Amino acid sequence: EAGVVQSPRYKIIEKKQPVAFWCNPISGHNTLYWYLQNLGQGPELLIRYENEEAVDDSQLPKDRFSAERLKGVDSTLKIQPAELGDSAVYLCASSLGAGGEQYFGPGTRLTVT
């Protein structure tokens, strides 16, 4: 069974540029999460979807970050414009139901210069 797929794996952009990350969860998993992880820290939740509905986006900086999961399957996270402090690993995870075991993708390592 395929795991959570994320792309790109690495991205280097200049500040003020836009960037987008894509995630395809495990088939049948209706809950999808986007996390941000800084070096030496645990993942921090940005947004959680149950099917196509964003049910927890309280930690998403809405002035520059946006996300969508239009058909309740794959999802895109966008940053526009990127700032130096956005450099981090962006992890996507999915689970069968909220609160259950989360399976993580390999992440996208973003560097903003």
Partner 1 sequence: RKEVEQDPGPFNVPEGATVAFNCTYSNSASQSFFWYRQDCRKEPKLLMSVYSSGNEDGRFTAQLNRASQYISLLIRDSKLSDSATYLCVVNTGSARQLTFGSGTQLTVLP
User: CA triplet 39, 43, 47: central angle to 5 degrees?
Assistant: 135
- The residues binding partner 1 (CB under 8 A) are 31, 35, 40-45, 48, 55-56, 91, 98-99, 101-102, 104-107
Dihedral angle computed from the Cα positions of residues 98, 99, 102 and 108, in that order, rounded to the nearest 10 degrees: 70
Task: Give the shortest CB-107-to-partner 1 separation in angstroms.
Answer: 6
Residue closer to partner 1 by CB (options 19, 91) is 91
Q: Which is nearer to partner 1, 81 or 106 (CB)?
A: 106
CB 12 to partner 1: min, Å: 16
Dist CA 88 CA 112 (whole Å): 9
The 3-state DSSP class for residue 85 equals helix
